Amino acid sequence: MKTILIIEDDPILLKMYAKKFEKDGFQVSQAVDGQDGLDKLANSEPAAILLDIMLPKVDGFEVLRRIKEDPKTKDIPVVLSTNLGGGEEDRKKGQDLGAADYLIKSDNTPAQIVEKIKGYIK
Amino acid sequence: MDTNPKQLNELLEAEKQEFLTVMSHELRTPMTGVKGYLSMILDGDAGMISDDVKEYIAQAYVANDRLIRLVDRMMKTAAVQEGKIKFNIQKVDLVQNLIVLATDFQIPAKEKKLSLVYNKPVSPSGGPEGKIFVMADPDRLREVLLNLISNAIKFTSSGKVEISHRKINHYAVVDITDTGQGIKKEDQNRLFEIFNKTNLTLAGQEKGTGLGLFLARKLAEAQGGKVWLESSEVGKGSTFSAGFPVAN
């Protein structure tokens, strides 16, 4: 069974995405802040990561940078999901850091996010 | 006090921007939760639901989406008014953008049994694929045109929506003509005001946010363009126009 790591500090959204991925047959690893996410990543091998940007402790861009720096994790597709109105600038920053995609949470249903992530899993 | 009035003003401006960014994020997050869970109920993730429940949930989903759109537009409006939107002005082909938009809008037009016609310009060589280059920010240009086309479709219940080109001085003008119910004279000059309520007089229609035309005009003006109501007659329809400076 493939694992998805979800790093999301809002408990309601975290539970929502976790439920949807489980419904779709994934195993879900959940992290509530950037540091927690990096810790969870150290002892699991997720097929993909759904990563919030505005996170306590270590923000999403920094988490992404560290994931892509580490040879062990650099090939895992990371999809940034945010409700920040940063627009093109943030999208580009994510792209430059190696994100597979950049999604606005309020524009996507959980089903759409699952479908998009599935598209990035080899 | 060690802060002079200018510094204080800058501080307040920075705080206002910070406030808007945080508010936008704080509003969108719970709305994302509402949207997500409602969509999961509709997907059947919580088990079978009756048709009545399905319809009520679908209505709640639509209402919540409207709220999301309203927040988006309010944030964008604030950003435009503050001059916080960066414009990347470059040479853009108006025709290519309209081809894409006209194709995208075929679906909503068909749903309302409207015909959506794009009269492409003829190229100097007589070929069908002319190009018209204007100076604009590609994303914002698309946003302005999208707003006008989507309004035309939204407020027209039968007939057609037609997109055509003309040139006025050094402006390339796009006319979007509909066979909708038209706009009363007394409402016409309020159309581009913020939170105009003209659209609320249309019974049984999806209500607008009252920000679309205001935003379209502001976005156009900020990149050297214009948006206006060319003509409108009650019972016959309206023509909205957008003009952008022709690229040399």
Please list, in sequence order, all residues whose beta carbon lies within 8 angstroms of the beta carbon of residue B97, skipping any fewer than 6 positions away.
B138, B141, B142, B145
State the best of B26, B32, B64 to mutate against chain A, taking most chain A CBs within 10 Å: B32
Supply the DSSP string of A4-25, one letter for each residue. EEEE-S-HHHHHHHHHHHHHTT
- A20:B45 CB<8 A: yes
Residue of B nearest to A24 (CA): B45
Which chain B residues have any C-beta within 8 angstroms of a chain A C-beta? 21, 24-25, 28-33, 35-37, 39-40, 43, 45, 68, 72, 75, 79, 139
CB B103 within 8 A of CB B146: no
- B33:A16 CB<8 A: yes
Tokens of A22: 């489980």
CB A73 within 8 A of CB A44: no
- B24:A54 CB<8 A: no
Instruction: List CB contacts (< 8 A) between A83 and chain B.
Output: 24-25, 28-29, 32
Give the domain ranges of chain A.
3-120
Nearest to A110 among B24, B39, B139 (CB): B39
The pLDDT score that the predictor gives to residue B86 is 80
Distances (CA, A) of A56 to A80, A85, A91, A106: 15, 18, 20, 20
CB B84 within 8 A of CB B17: yes
pTM of the model: 0.73
Distances (CA, A) of A96 to A54, A100, B190, B198: 18, 10, 44, 44
Nearest to A109 among B24, B39, B72 (CB): B39
Whether pLDDT at A22 is above 80: yes
CATH of A3-120, picked from 3.40.50.150, 3.40.50.2300, 1.25.40.20, 3.40.50.720, is 3.40.50.2300
Instruction: List CB contacts (< 8 A) between B45 and chain A.
Output: 19-20, 23
Residue contacts between A and B (CB atoms, under 8 Å): 55
Tokens of B201: 């007089």
C-alpha distance from A53 to closest chain B C-alpha (Å): 11
- A105:B28 CB<8 A: yes
- A111:B43 CB<8 A: yes
CB B100 within 8 A of CB B139: no
| Whether A111 contacts chain B with CB within 8 A | yes
Instruction: List CB contacts (< 8 A) between A12 and chain B.
Output: 30, 33
- B36:A110 CB<8 A: yes
Q: Rounded CA gap, B240 and B146, in Å?
A: 12
Q: Rounded CA gap, B127 and B70, in Å?
A: 43
The pLDDT score that the predictor gives to residue B200 is 46
Distances (CA, A) of B59 to A16, B18, B38, B136: 20, 33, 10, 38
Q: In the β-sheet with B115-118, what is the strand arrangement from edge to edge?
A: B115-118, B160-168, B171-178, B237-245, B226-233
Q: Mean pLDDT for each 10-residue chunk of chain B (248 residues)?
A: 73 73 84 97 95 95 90 81 82 94 94 94 67 92 95 93 94 96 87 73 60 91 94 92 93
Q: Whole-angstrom distance between the N-terminal and C-terminal Cα of chain B?
A: 54
CATH 3.50.50.60 fits B90-245, yes or no: no
Instruction: List CB contacts (< 8 A) between B39 and chain A.
Output: 109-111
Tokens of B104: 């995208």
DSSP secondary structure code for residue B155 in this structure: T
C-alpha distance from B153 to closest chain A C-alpha (Å): 22
- B39:A88 CB<8 A: no
- A109:B36 CB<8 A: yes
Average pLDDT over residues A57-79: 96
- B35:A109 CB<8 A: yes
The pLDDT score that the predictor gives to residue B78 is 78
Q: Rounded CA gap, B187 and B193, in Å?
A: 11
**When comparing pLDDT for B206 and A73, which is higher?**
A73
CB B191 within 8 A of CB B183: yes
Average pLDDT over chain A, rounded to whole? 94
Helix, coil or strand: residue B227: strand
Nearest to B32 among A13, A54, A84 (CB): A13
